[in-house]
Amino acid sequence: MADQTPRNGTTLLRISLAIFAIGLVAIVAIFAVPAISGDDPPLWLYLTAMIFSPLGFVLAIVFALLSGRRAR
């Protein structure tokens, strides 16, 4: 019989990685917008980068702490 691990624990990791990736894309876009169009990046791009990158990072740390095993 195959060992099936619960998938509920990896859901938090997948969500945190997706949020962090959105933040990184926003950071890249902040540098790409002036290079491509010559205009300043919009405010929502800065806010997305400021909120999503740290939030995804913190959620990944929370996942690591919750999934860790205690030493006996």
Q: Where are the domains of the chain?
A: 10-67
Query: For residue 67, what pLDDT is reported?
Result: 87
Q: Are 56 and 13 in contact (CB under 8 A)?
A: no
Query: For residue 71, what pLDDT is reported?
Result: 58
Query: For residue 16, what pLDDT is reported?
Result: 95
Q: What is the pLDDT along the chain (72 residues), one digit of tens a residue?
A: 555 555 566 888 999 999 999 999 999 999 999 999 989 899 999 999 999 999 999 999 999 888 887 655
Cα dist from 9 to 18, 34, 63, whole Å: 15, 40, 8
What one-character-per-residue DSSP string does 23-63 give? Answer: HHHHHHHHHHHHHHHSSPPPHHHHHHHHHHHHHHHHHHHHH
pTM of the model: 0.79
